[in-house]
Amino acid sequence: MSVFDLLQRPAGKATIAHRIEAVLREDILHGTLAPGSRLNLDSLRTQMDVGLSPLREAVTRLVAEGLIEVAAQKGYTVAPISLANLNEVSALRVELEPYALRKSIENGGLDWEADVMGALHRLNKTDRIPGDPGSLSEWESANNAFHLTLIKRCDMPLLLKIHHSLVSMNDRYRHIYLKAVRIQREVIEEHTAIAEAAVARQADRAASLLTGHIERSTNNLRHLIAAALPKDAS
């Protein structure tokens, strides 16, 4: 979807700044805006045919999300990628996400259970086809929705905000390096086991399975990235 398509949507649906933010996020997550590249706001403003004020607002939000960095005298740059950053993102998810899941199991009712199993069904019915950007995005969206549904009843807005930022940073590695990887059966089995343990109120098992899932996924991604990154980027 182009920025033109987004900007032509009815004004009530979202502000122009939110639409610009969505386009920039998509370009960053998929590597169209390369990690470490400088962002010239005047050039972006001309390219997108938007005002400087909503563009700055969109960029500021992405700075808060960790996808763009800003430094005095240097302006804005797309956040670089590295194994160290991936490891930090994974370590934080391993600490926060299972904790949030435990809280969701405590707080969630039947509606939450139904939402979890519904998100699992959607995810397991969504294929990820190598070389098909549409299917890749659809699967990643379903995957993120599943993980969020698991923890949403932690009822801790700050934790959920931090989690959203971590997922966005993790997604960039996934979008760039998993383009040629099809979903494996073990991923479906892991998601199913986590969901079933969660709705069965088996908090220890669910948290342990989620931890192992995050660690295994990161380890697989780490091997792909290590082979592609320059030596000094690790």
Contacts (Cβ under 8 Å, ≥6 apart) of 35: 78, 79, 80, 81, 172
- Which residue's entry shows tokens 């909503």? 54
- Please write the tens of the pLDDT for every residue from 90-124: 999 999 999 999 999 999 999 999 999 999 999 99
What mean pLDDT comes out for the span 167-175? Answer: 87
Band of the pLDDT at 230, cuts 50, 70, 90? low
Q: What is the pLDDT of residue 56?
A: 93
CA quadruple 126, 154, 15, 22: dihedral sign: negative
What mean pLDDT comes out for the span 32-45? Answer: 91
Distance CA 24, CA 125 (A): 29
1 pLDDT higher than 50: no
Instruction: Compute the C-alpha angle 173/179/181, nearest 5°.
Output: 105
Q: What is the pLDDT of residue 90?
A: 95
Domains and CATH numbers, the chain: 3-78 (1.10.10.10), 83-233 (1.20.120.530)
Q: What percent of the chain has pLDDT over 90?
A: 59
Q: Which residue from 145, 150, 170 is spatially nearest to 103, judged by alpha carbons?
A: 150
What mean pLDDT comes out for the span 65-92? Answer: 90
What mean pLDDT comes out for the span 30-56? Answer: 90
Q: What is the pLDDT of residue 229?
A: 66
Distance CA 211, CA 205 (A): 10
